[in-house]
Amino acid sequence: MSHKHLDIHARARIQRGVEKGESFAAIARDLGVATSTVSREVRTNRTWHVPKGKRWNLCAHRADCDRAGVCGGCGLARCRSCAKVRCWEVCGEFEERRCDLLSRAPFVCGGCHRAFNCGFRQALYSAADAQLSYQARLAASREGVRLRPEELESLVHTVRRYLRRGWSLEAIWAVMGDLMPVSERTMYSYIEAGLMGLANIDLPKKVRYKPRGRVRECRVPDGADRSFDMFSELPAKTRARAVQMDTVIGRARDFKCILTLHVPSCELQLMVLLDEHSCSAVVGALDWIESVVGAAEFARLFGVILTDRGVEFCDHEAIERSSLTKGRRCRLFYCDPMRADQKGSCERNHGLIRRVLPKGTSFEGLTPWDVATVCSHVNSYPRRSLGGRSPLAAAARLVPKRLLDELGIVHMRPDEVVLRPELLGGAGR
């Protein structure tokens, strides 16, 4: 147990040894620790008890005390003879006497022959009580802020600067964790405590979480050959390469929407602005992508697509049919109804888009340049799952550069990434 904290089992062994009268050295050899460790443990975590009974009086002046009426005057000649109240508990001149034997090993009353009639406060060692005392001290030692004022001020200044850009603590620590004086989890605790003006409202998502609802029963989807069950039967490597497709909409009356194609392996999410929220617009966008990269490259990148049952994805035959070869360019699978979690990686990435385009924002004023700007910043945002790299850096060898160029996507430096509505200067409002 060298260099490790004592646990409840070690403390139970110490308790048994003390009760049997073993030396601290023998107990320490059995546990593999230093003798001073056992000695300190017993002395620090021993508990004090006063057995019930009339003969127990801890006052050093009990033998020659003649005081009467200390608690209000009950008529007794001397308070020390009272059988109802312990006089030393109410007397202002009480002075406790301690047993000299408790100042040296074994520091407890376990093997003392005078333990039943000595008249002193007794010291005992209990493994359960010692464990509780240790845990309380350990928790107290980790409370508060363990930083110098200048370190704390610098930390808060850095975190606040990136929070204003729409970054999360996870992204901040993924990029600059080695430079931070505390861990990400500790910073969450500081914000929870309202440290130097920071609060949960400053975090991008924390105050927006809602309680999880009950999962509804899903009926068997139409077209069993494109159901999620069939998707689950595909080889693991094929499922890992599957692209998750969805749309992000603005206000209910808007025509425009954003088609997203998410590549989970590198967290890259491509975005295409659609002029209308319809299946024909989705098919047209996929045809355009195929014309840019070619039929073979499209099949490699988007050979398997997983999407939801939105009306814009209803024409599976048109989505799967190639515009160049007239054959099948991909295989389309549908999630179960009310199961957005089956393409959860795509849904989580939509949260980054919503930081720039919150719900209720109109998309009618958006331009392809606006969508390209949002896409560039979202895909340049560092991810912990990628070891602090951005999706664009992780996808450098996976996605053809000509496709990124046609979409207007550029790689931003981490300190240039902004995920706030101010990124578009109010565009799309």
* 414 residue type, one letter: P
CATH code for residues 224-424? 3.30.420.10
H/E stretch holding 260: strand 257-263
Q: 365-368: which pairs have CB atoms within 8 A and are 24 or more residues apart? A: 365/427, 365/428, 365/429, 366/250, 366/256, 366/258, 366/273, 366/427, 366/428, 367/273, 367/427, 368/273, 368/408
Helix then strand then coil, % of the chain, to nearest 5: 45, 10, 45
> Hey, what's the torsion of the CAs at 361, 363, 368, 370, to 10 degrees?
-20
d(CA 68, CA 81): 10
d(CA 212, CA 149): 40
Burial (0-12, 13-18, 19+ Cβ within 10 Å), 52: exposed
Judged by phi (left if over 0) then psi (alpha if -120 to 50, else beta), residue 244 lies in: beta
Please give the full DSSP string across 54-89, using - where no structure is assigned: TT---BTTTTT-----TTS--S-S-GGG-SSS-HHH
* 25 residue type, one letter: A
Contact 182, 145 (CB under 8 A): no
Residue of 120, 126, 131 lying closest to 46 (CA atoms): 126
* 323 residue type, one letter: S
Check residue 110 and give its pLDDT: 67
H/E stretch holding 296: helix 295-302
Please give the full DSSP string across 303-367, using - where no structure is assigned: SEEEE---GGG--HHHHHB-SSSSSB--EEEEPPTT-GGGGHHHHHHHHHHHHHS-TT---TT--
- A 10 A CB-CB count for 65 gives 19
State phi, psi for 96 to the nearest 5 degrees.
-80, 145
Spatial neighbors of 396 by CB under 8 A, at least 6 apart, are: none
Spatial neighbors of 190 by CB under 8 A, at least 6 apart, are: 145, 182, 198
Domain boundaries, the chain: 1-58+96-143, 60-93, 149-208, 224-424
Cut 0.85: pTM above it: no
- Tens of pLDDT, residue by residue, the chain (429 residues): 556 789 999 999 999 998 888 999 999 999 999 999 999 999 999 988 776 654 566 676 666 776 776 776 666 667 766 766 666 666 766 677 777 777 888 888 866 656 556 667 788 889 999 999 999 888 887 777 878 888 888 988 898 888 888 888 889 999 988 889 989 988 888 888 777 677 777 777 766 666 555 544 444 345 568 899 999 999 999 999 999 999 999 988 889 999 999 999 899 999 999 999 999 999 999 999 999 999 999 999 999 999 998 889 988 999 999 999 879 999 999 999 888 899 999 999 999 999 999 998 999 999 999 999 999 999 999 998 899 999 999 998 899 999 999 999 999 999 999 999 999 875 444
Check residue 77 and give its pLDDT: 62
Q: 258 pairs with which residues across the strands? A: 248, 273
d(CA 190, CA 208): 19
Contact 356, 377 (CB under 8 A): yes
